[in-house]
Structure 1
Amino acid sequence: MPYKIFLGSLATTIAFVAYIPYFVNIFRGKTKPHAFSWLVWGIISGIGFLAQLTEGGGSGSWVTGFGALVSFVIFSLALLWGDRHFSRFDWMSLLGAGIAIFLWWLTGEPLLSLILVIIIDALGFLPTFRKGFYKPYEETATTWGLNSLKFMVALPALESFTLTTWLYPVYLVLANGTFVTMLWVRRKRR
């Protein structure tokens, strides 16, 4: 399926391009990533990538693996230059994600594990969503929009199209799309 390899490569290229402005803005001090979110995303993207691979996701899963790697890099940068003001809400989100990761580890069922991964991702997203709501200019909207697009492109690249392989990317399209929309709306109101 050469077109699936093309789409998987295109999605990963979009991911690479999406993070260029994010990294530039981190180093300029304009974007301040929330460390907790990026740590959770690194862990669960890695889990999601492995789940997609074991279920035959093929080239459509490459973008998830790349995302895991980038998430760990951004987590490291967030500890140095990101938002280091951790609220009780942030700690509760991290604790909830940690509990869900433990529950994921206890399960052996791929679909249940994936549902837990989505819950973990959502809990990990909450600190960034809260920060973006109050400080919409401290996030790079272009990156979030392209993140939504990359998973749209990756979906038809999946070698095996099962609930286990497509559910996580669909969630990511919706989560990233919702976040970028919220950023744009909040920026217009300021």
Structure 2
Amino acid sequence: MDWLFFIMALISLPFWYLTSDPLCTVLILSTVEVLGFAPTLRKAYRQPYQENVTFFFLFMMRNGLSIIALEHYSITTVLFPAAGATACLLLITTVIYRRKSI
């Protein structure tokens, strides 16, 4: 999954160039990531047994470890991994809730 961060870094360069502000770039990328997570969340709600909770748990843990490993904490450095971890936590919670309610 390190390639994902590499790709996101490449995608962020035009935004950084246009906005001249790293925080604005991180806000845009985090928003796009969370919005892109919406179809997965919808599918997890409708078909909770088709989602692999272990994968999303590991992805959430990776983002949490990424935050812990940071040398400098700021909204710019923490926002993107925190958004990914929060989205995964929401998905895991949704799947567990739906599995118990069905």
Q: Establish whether TM, by shorter chain, passes 0.5.
A: yes
TM class by shorter chain equals 0.7 to 0.9
2:85 matched residue in structure 1: 173
1:135 aligns with 2:50: no
- For 1:169 and 1:133, how far apart are their aligned partners in 2? 23
1:149 aligns with 2:52: no
1:36 matched residue in structure 2: none
1:46 matched residue in structure 2: 7
2:31 matched residue in structure 1: 119
TM-score, normalised by the number of residues in structure 2: 0.80
1:104 matched residue in structure 2: 15
Structure 2 unmatched runs, 5+: none
Structure 1 unmatched runs, 5+: 1-14, 17-41, 52-100
1:68 matched residue in structure 2: none
Where in structure 2 are the equivalents of 1:25-40 lying within 5 Å? none
How far is the alpha carbon of 1:132 from its aligned partner?
A: 0.9
1:164 matched residue in structure 2: 76
- For 2:91 and 2:6, how far apart are their aligned partners in 1? 18
1:188 matched residue in structure 2: 100
Aligned residues: 98
The alignment partner of 1:161 has SS state of: coil
1:85 matched residue in structure 2: none
TM-score, normalised by the number of residues in structure 1: 0.46
Runs of 4+ that moved beyond 3 A: 103-106
- For 1:156 and 1:140, how far apart are their aligned partners in 2? 25
The alignment partner of 1:143 has SS state of: helix
The alignment partner of 1:175 has SS state of: helix
CA RMSD of aligned residues (A): 2.6
